[in-house]
Amino acid sequence: MRPPVLNPLFASLTALPGIGPKLEKVFVRLLVREGEKPRLVDLVFHLPTGYVDRRNQPKLSAVVPDTVVTVAVTIDRHRPPPPNRPRAPYNIEASDDTNTLTITYFNARKDYLEKLYPEGALRYLSGIATLYDGHLQMVHPDRVVDAAGFARLPLIDPVYPLTEGIYPNQLQRAIELALDRVPELPEWQDPAWVKRNHFPGFAEALRKVHRPASPDDLKPESAAWSRLAYDELLAGQLALALLRGHMRKRAGRGSAAEGRLRARIVAALPYALTQSQQRATADIIADLAQPNRMLRLLHGDVGSGKTVVALLAAATVIEAGRQAAFMAPTEILARQHFATIAPLAAAAGIRLAILTGRERGRERPEILSALAAGDIDLIVGTHALFQEDVAFHDLALAIVDEQQRFGVHQRLALSRKGEAVDLLVLTATPIPRTLVLTYFGDMDVSELREKPAGRQKIDTRALPLERLAEVIEAVSRALDDGRRVYWVCPLVEESETIDLAAAEDRYRSLKKRFGDTAELVHGRMRGTEKDAAMARFAEGSARILVATTVIEVGVDVPAASVMVIEHAERFGLAQLHQLRGRIGRGADRSICLLLYRAPLGETAKARLAILRETDDGFRIAEEDLRLRGEGDVLGTRQSGMPGFRLARLEVHGKLLSAAREDAALVLNRDPKLKSARGAALRQLLYLFARDEAIRLLGAG
C-alpha cells in the first residue's frame, strides 16, 4: 500500500484546473511512456533545461540578434495583412528611444492582437530577436505583459522541454499548481549527510529548481538539484540492494561438475581462450558450485568472446544433469547465437534447440514437450522463452544477453522458470563503472578486456557526405577485390519511416550500380526474409549488405572487411564502436568509413575523433557517457529499464558510491525498513517507482 501522505503527488493531472482529458493526452507524450497515465509527480520531476534572464533589459539598439531578450517598447501601429493575402504576416511596429522593432504573428486574430497591443501603450516582450532585412524583428513573443504584469513575472524564468500541443505558459502554470500540492515529507536522507552537503528538504529543493532565484539554482551541481539527484540514486541503490538480498536469501542449488563437457568445447575452439575468458569462466564455475544463487554480469568489448564463456557456464550445469536457457533480445541475434553455439554443442554432446516467435505449428509443441521432459539441455531464444506455456524439466542457469534491452521484470521472469535459477547477464557493450553500479548493483561483475587472437586493427576514417561518390568508387574497388561490405543507414525511433526510406533509397541506388550483389536488411522485414538476406551475404552470393542498426550486435561474417556508416553523427559512440566491431574478424585488412553531414557540432566532432584514435571499448564507453548522458548510452529510453529523471550521471555520478554505501548500511541495521528512517525510505521507493522492491520486504 502506498503511504497516504504521497496521494497528492500520485493524483492524475486532470485534478489540476485547466487540464482536461484532451490536454492530458498531450502531456502523456511529454512526461511518461505510451500507455501510462501522467501524475503530478511526473510534472514536478520534469526539470528545466535552461532559463530566460529578465534581470538584463537592453535597449533595442543594444539587442544581440538570435538571442532571447526582454525589452520594453511603445506600440506605434498595427499593420494587418491586406484582405487579398490572409496568409501574409500580421506586423506590429514598436519602438523605444533608440531603435524600432517589428512584432510578427502568423494566422493570428486581429481583435486578439489589438487587445494585447493597444497603440500608444507600453509593453514588455520576451522572445528571440532576429534580424530580417537588416531590421530587428520578434516573431510570436513568448511573453507580452504590461508594467503591472511584468512586476509579477519571475526575473529568472525556467525553460522546459516541450512537445507539440503544449505551450510554455500552459506547462509552467501546471507545474506551479502541482508544486503547491507537494506535501512536506519526513527526511529519508541521513541527517549528517544533509548537513554536510547543505541540502534543502525534498519539497524545498523542488521549489528552488522550478522557481530559481538565480541562474545558479538551475545548475545540476546546485545543492537543490544535487539533493533531488541523490534521492533518486538512493532509491535505485536501495531497490537493488533489496533485490540482491532477496535473490541471495532464496537458497541456490550448487551445480558442480568435473569439466568434461567444458574440455570438449575448448578443444573444438579454433583459438585458445584469453586470460579474461579463463578468469571469467573460473569465477562463474565457482559461483555455480555455491549453495547461493549466482547473479553475475559479464561485459566486454566487441568480439571479446562472451558467447563462449556463457556456453562454458551452460556446459557446467548440463554436466550436473540440469538445463540452461540463453535469451537474446531479437530473433536475428538469437539465431546468430544458435549458429555459433551449434557446432561446439555438437562436439560436446549437448542437446540444443531454439525457440523464437517463428517456431509455430507442430514444431513449437514438440520443442516445449522435449524441454519439459528434459530432452533438451540448452535452449536459445527470444523473450518467447519466458512465456507462460514454456516449462523446463530442471532449469539451473538463465543467460540473458544484451541486458540493457530487458528490464528487471524480464530478468526475474526467466529466473522464476526453475528452482533457485542462477543468472548470468551478458552485454556486448562495455558499461561505464557508474552505470554498472546504477543498473547492476545487485550483481557481481566480470570483464572481458582482451580480444581473441587474430582480430585485425581497423582503419577508421571520417569523411563528409559530399565525398559520397568517392566512397562508392572505393566500395566498387573493394568488391572487385572480392571483399564484402556493410553499408549502415541510421534508424532513429522518432522518425523510423523516414529513416527506413533512407535505407531503402540507398539500397536501390547501390543495387542500380552493383546489381544483385546488393542486399537489404532492416527491422521491419519478416524474420525469414532477414535470415535469407543475411545468409546470402554470409555465403558471398551477396557482397554488399545495406542495413539499419539490426546488425549492430552479434552478426558475425568474418569475410566482411569494409564498413560504411552513413550519417555517423547521428549515432552514439558505443553504437558506432559496436557497428565497427562487425568487421576486422577475418584475414583481410579492414576499413571503417564514417560519413557525416557537415558542419559537425562539437559533440559529434569529439565522438568521431575518439573513435579514430582508439578501439578500447571501455574507454569509448566512458567517453560516450560523458558526451551523451546515461539514458542514451544504455538505451533506457527505448527499453523497459528506468532511466534517471533527476540525476545526471555525468554530474552526479560521484554521489553514487555514497548512495550505495548508505543503502547497504540502512539494510544492515534495519533490513525490514521498520524504523522512522526506514518508513521514510519506503516513501522514497514509492516516489521513484521502485515499489516492487517494497514487495520483496514482505516476501520469503
For residue 640, name the pLDDT band (cuts at 50, 70, 90). very low
The DSSP output letter for 199 is P
Residues 269 and 411 in one domain: yes
> Taking the mean position of all CA atoms in its chain, how far away is CA 191?
34
Contact, 688 vs 269, CB < 8 A? no
What tens digit of pLDDT does each residue of 95-129 get? 999 999 999 999 888 999 999 999 999 999 988 89
Domain range for 383 is: 260-448
Domain boundary among 599, 614, 629: 614
Residues 6+ apart with CB under 8 A from 204: 224
Convert the pLDDT of each residue in 151-167 to its tens digit: 888 889 898 988 888 88
| Structure-block grid coordinates of residue 636 | 533506457
First CA to last CA across the chain, in angstroms? 18
Q: Identify the DSSP state of 420.
A: S
Do both 181 and 148 map to the same domain?
Answer: no
* 46 and 60 fall within a common domain: no
Lowest mean pLDDT, pick from 81-90, 202-211, 276-285:
81-90
486 DSSP β-pair partners = 545, 563
Among residues 203, 218, 233, the one where a domain terminates is 218
Looking at the structure, do residues 287 and 375 belong to the same domain, yes or no?
A: yes
Q: Is 345 helix (H, G, I), strand (E, B) or coil?
A: helix
What pLDDT does 287 receive? 92
% pLDDT > 90, the chain: 51
Q: How far is CA 160 from CA 17, 281, 417, 596, in A?
A: 20, 48, 44, 30
Same domain, 34 and 75: no
Q: How many domains does the chain have?
A: 4
pLDDT at 121: 96
Asked, for residue 37, whether it belongs to a domain, the answer is yes
Q: Is residue 677 part of a domain?
A: no
- pTM confidence score: 0.65
Strand partners, 145: 124
In this structure, is residue 627 part of a structural domain?
no
Of the pLDDT bands very low, low, confident and very high (cuts 50, 70, 90), residue 431 is: confident
Is 565 within a domain?
yes
Boundary-marking domain end, from 614, 635, 663: 614
CATH at residue 75: 2.40.50.140
DSSP, collapsed to helix, strand or coil, labels residue 594 as strand
Structure confidence at residue 212 as a pLDDT band (50, 70, 90): very high
Residue 230 has pLDDT above 60, yes or no: yes
Q: Residue 361's domain is classified under what CATH number?
A: 3.40.50.300
Q: Do both 558 and 521 map to the same domain?
A: yes
Is the residue at 317 inside a domain? yes
In which band, very low, low, confident or very high, does the pLDDT at 550 lie, cut at 50, 70 and 90?
low
pLDDT value at 441 more than 60: yes
| Max mean pLDDT range (59-68, 368-377, 611-620) | 368-377
How does residue 408 score in pLDDT terms, banded at 50, 70 and 90? low
Q: Are residues 90 and 147 in the same domain?
A: yes
For 22-37, b/e burial (b = at least 16 CB within 10 A) is: ebbebbbebbeeeeee
Q: pLDDT category, 249, cuts 50, 70, 90? A: low
Residues 430 and 311 in one domain: yes
Q: How far apart are CA 180 and CA 201, in angstroms?
A: 15
Q: Which three cell numbers stand for residue 341?
A: 553455439
Which are the contacts of 591, defined by CB distance < 8 A and separation ≥ 6? 458, 459, 460, 461, 561, 562, 563, 583
Range name among 82-86, 405-409, 507-511 with the lowest pLDDT average: 405-409
pLDDT tens, 644-697?
Answer: 889 987 788 889 889 999 999 999 999 999 999 999 999 999 999 887 777 766
Nearest alpha carbon to residue 222 among 646, 673, 692: 646
Q: Judge if 473 and 519 occupy the same domain.
A: yes
Q: What is the mean pLDDT of residues 188-216?
A: 95
Q: How many CA atoms lie within 13 A of 94 on its CB side?
A: 26
Can you tell me the mean pLDDT for 24-47?
Answer: 89
Q: What is the pLDDT of residue 500?
A: 58
- Report the chain's mean pLDDT, rounded to a whole number: 87
Of how many residues is the chain composed? 700
- Give CA–CA dist 346/264, Å, rounded: 10
- Residue 275 sits in the same domain as residue 385: yes
Classify residue 224: in a domain, yes or no: no
| Low-confidence winner among 209-213, 431-435, 504-508 (lowest mean pLDDT) | 431-435
* Burial (0-12, 13-18, 19+ Cβ within 10 Å), 341: buried
- Residue 561's pLDDT is what? 93
pLDDT for residue 183: 94
Q: Supply angle C-alpha 354, 358, 363, rounded to 5.
A: 65
Residues 138 and 181 in one domain: no
Task: For residue 323, tell me if it sits in a domain.
Answer: yes
Mean pLDDT of the 411-437 span: 78
Same domain, 319 and 420: yes
Please check whether residue 266 lies inside any domain of the structure.
yes
Average pLDDT of span 387-410? 79
The Cα–Cα gap between 379 and 372 comes to 12
Strand, coil or helix: what is 128?
strand
